[in-house]
Structure 1
Amino acid sequence: MNLEARKIEFIQEFLKLQSEEAISKLEKILKKEKDTSDERLLKPMTIDELNNRIDKSESDFKNNRFKSSSELLAKYQ
Protein backbone atom coordinates (compact mmCIF):
# COMPACT_ATOMS: atom_id res chain seq x y z
CA MET A 1 0.00 0.00 0.00
CA ASN A 2 1.51 3.35 -1.00
CA LEU A 3 1.64 6.45 1.18
CA GLU A 4 -1.32 8.19 -0.46
CA ALA A 5 -3.56 5.15 0.03
CA ARG A 6 -2.46 4.88 3.67
CA LYS A 7 -3.29 8.56 4.25
CA ILE A 8 -6.76 8.14 2.77
CA GLU A 9 -7.41 5.04 4.85
CA PHE A 10 -6.20 6.84 7.98
CA ILE A 11 -8.48 9.82 7.31
CA GLN A 12 -11.45 7.54 6.72
CA GLU A 13 -10.83 5.79 10.05
CA PHE A 14 -10.26 9.13 11.77
CA LEU A 15 -13.62 10.41 10.54
CA LYS A 16 -15.33 7.40 12.13
CA LEU A 17 -13.93 8.19 15.59
CA GLN A 18 -16.48 9.19 18.20
CA SER A 19 -14.11 9.53 21.17
CA GLU A 20 -12.98 13.07 21.92
CA GLU A 21 -10.12 11.61 23.96
CA ALA A 22 -8.85 9.60 20.97
CA ILE A 23 -9.05 12.67 18.73
CA SER A 24 -7.12 14.73 21.31
CA LYS A 25 -4.40 12.08 21.46
CA LEU A 26 -4.08 12.04 17.68
CA GLU A 27 -3.95 15.86 17.61
CA LYS A 28 -1.09 15.80 20.12
CA ILE A 29 0.79 13.21 18.07
CA LEU A 30 0.28 15.25 14.89
CA LYS A 31 1.46 18.46 16.58
CA LYS A 32 4.56 16.74 17.98
CA GLU A 33 5.40 15.28 14.57
CA LYS A 34 4.90 18.68 12.89
CA ASP A 35 7.13 20.40 15.46
CA THR A 36 9.83 17.77 14.94
CA SER A 37 9.55 18.12 11.15
CA ASP A 38 9.86 21.90 11.43
CA GLU A 39 13.03 21.50 13.49
CA ARG A 40 14.57 19.34 10.77
CA LEU A 41 14.02 22.15 8.26
CA LEU A 42 16.09 24.63 10.26
CA LYS A 43 19.51 25.30 8.82
CA PRO A 44 22.47 26.11 11.04
CA MET A 45 24.27 29.41 10.56
CA THR A 46 27.46 29.47 8.60
CA ILE A 47 30.65 30.46 10.41
CA ASP A 48 30.55 33.82 8.62
CA GLU A 49 26.94 34.45 9.70
CA LEU A 50 27.82 33.55 13.27
CA ASN A 51 30.88 35.80 13.28
CA ASN A 52 28.86 38.69 11.82
CA ARG A 53 26.23 38.27 14.51
CA ILE A 54 28.91 38.22 17.22
CA ASP A 55 30.49 41.38 15.79
CA LYS A 56 27.13 43.16 15.69
CA SER A 57 26.30 42.09 19.25
CA GLU A 58 29.64 43.31 20.55
CA SER A 59 29.16 46.61 18.73
CA ASP A 60 25.64 46.99 20.16
CA PHE A 61 26.95 46.37 23.66
CA LYS A 62 29.80 48.89 23.29
CA ASN A 63 27.32 51.49 22.00
CA ASN A 64 24.86 50.85 24.86
CA ARG A 65 22.21 49.37 22.53
CA PHE A 66 20.94 46.62 24.82
CA LYS A 67 18.50 45.93 27.64
CA SER A 68 19.44 44.34 30.92
CA SER A 69 17.73 41.18 32.09
CA SER A 70 15.98 43.17 34.86
CA GLU A 71 14.56 45.55 32.22
CA LEU A 72 13.26 42.62 30.20
CA LEU A 73 11.75 40.94 33.25
CA ALA A 74 10.03 44.17 34.31
CA LYS A 75 8.48 44.48 30.85
CA TYR A 76 6.78 41.07 31.13
CA GLN A 77 5.66 41.12 34.75
Structure 2
Amino acid sequence: MNIEARKIEFIQEFLKVQSEDVISRLEKILRKENNTSDENKFEPMNEEELNKRIDQSESDFRNKRFKSSSELLSKYE
Protein backbone atom coordinates (compact mmCIF):
# COMPACT_ATOMS: atom_id res chain seq x y z
CA MET A 1 0.00 0.00 0.00
CA ASN A 2 1.46 3.40 -0.95
CA ILE A 3 1.60 6.46 1.30
CA GLU A 4 -1.42 8.17 -0.27
CA ALA A 5 -3.62 5.11 0.22
CA ARG A 6 -2.44 4.82 3.84
CA LYS A 7 -3.29 8.48 4.48
CA ILE A 8 -6.79 8.04 3.07
CA GLU A 9 -7.32 4.89 5.12
CA PHE A 10 -6.09 6.67 8.26
CA ILE A 11 -8.40 9.65 7.67
CA GLN A 12 -11.35 7.33 7.16
CA GLU A 13 -10.60 5.58 10.46
CA PHE A 14 -10.00 8.92 12.19
CA LEU A 15 -13.41 10.19 11.09
CA LYS A 16 -15.01 7.21 12.86
CA VAL A 17 -13.40 8.09 16.22
CA GLN A 18 -15.93 9.27 18.79
CA SER A 19 -13.66 9.69 21.81
CA GLU A 20 -12.37 13.16 22.70
CA ASP A 21 -9.48 11.51 24.54
CA VAL A 22 -8.35 9.56 21.48
CA ILE A 23 -8.56 12.67 19.28
CA SER A 24 -6.54 14.66 21.83
CA ARG A 25 -3.85 11.98 21.96
CA LEU A 26 -3.64 11.82 18.17
CA GLU A 27 -3.39 15.61 18.01
CA LYS A 28 -0.53 15.56 20.54
CA ILE A 29 1.30 12.89 18.55
CA LEU A 30 0.90 14.86 15.34
CA ARG A 31 2.12 18.11 16.96
CA LYS A 32 5.10 16.33 18.48
CA GLU A 33 6.05 14.74 15.16
CA ASN A 34 5.73 18.07 13.33
CA ASN A 35 7.91 19.82 15.93
CA THR A 36 10.50 17.06 15.76
CA SER A 37 10.71 17.26 11.98
CA ASP A 38 11.14 21.05 12.20
CA GLU A 39 13.96 20.62 14.70
CA ASN A 40 15.74 18.19 12.41
CA LYS A 41 16.07 20.73 9.62
CA PHE A 42 19.72 21.63 9.59
CA GLU A 43 20.99 24.75 7.88
CA PRO A 44 24.75 24.54 7.35
CA MET A 45 26.81 27.69 7.66
CA ASN A 46 28.41 29.16 4.63
CA GLU A 47 32.13 29.89 4.65
CA GLU A 48 31.64 33.56 5.50
CA GLU A 49 29.48 32.77 8.56
CA LEU A 50 31.98 30.18 9.75
CA ASN A 51 34.87 32.62 9.45
CA LYS A 52 32.92 35.27 11.38
CA ARG A 53 32.29 32.80 14.19
CA ILE A 54 35.93 31.80 14.27
CA ASP A 55 37.02 35.44 14.41
CA GLN A 56 34.53 36.16 17.21
CA SER A 57 35.68 33.12 19.18
CA GLU A 58 39.34 34.07 18.85
CA SER A 59 38.53 37.62 19.94
CA ASP A 60 36.59 36.34 22.95
CA PHE A 61 39.50 34.13 23.94
CA ARG A 62 42.06 36.94 23.62
CA ASN A 63 39.84 39.19 25.76
CA LYS A 64 39.25 36.47 28.36
CA ARG A 65 35.53 36.20 27.61
CA PHE A 66 35.23 32.47 28.09
CA LYS A 67 34.73 29.78 30.73
CA SER A 68 36.96 26.83 31.29
CA SER A 69 35.58 23.32 31.05
CA SER A 70 35.99 22.89 34.83
CA GLU A 71 33.90 26.04 35.41
CA LEU A 72 31.18 24.67 33.17
CA LEU A 73 31.27 21.25 34.81
CA SER A 74 31.06 22.70 38.32
CA LYS A 75 27.87 24.49 37.34
CA TYR A 76 26.16 21.12 36.75
CA GLU A 77 27.54 19.17 39.71
Please report the TM-score for the alignment, with normalisation by the length of structure 2: 0.60
Measured after TM superposition, the shift of residue 41 of structure 1 is 1.4
Are residues 1:52 and 2:42 paired?
A: no
Aligned equivalents of 2:50 and 2:15: distance in 1? 48
User: Among the aligned pairs, what percent are the same residue?
Assistant: 70
What is the distance in 1 between the residues matched to 2:34 and 2:48? 30
CA shift for structure 1 position 4: 0.4
Number of corresponding residues: 59
Query: What is the root-mean-square deviation of aligned Cα atoms in Å?
Result: 2.5
Query: Match for residue 2 of structure 1?
Result: 2
Unaligned runs of 5+ in 1: 57-77
- For the residues of structure 2 that align with 1:36 and 1:44, how far apart are their CA atoms? 18
Structure 2 alignment gaps of length 5 or more: 57-77
Map of 2:27 onto structure 1: 27
Q: What displacement does 1:14 show?
A: 0.4
Match for 1:13: what amino acid?
Answer: E
Separation of aligned partners in 2, 1:6 and 1:46: 39
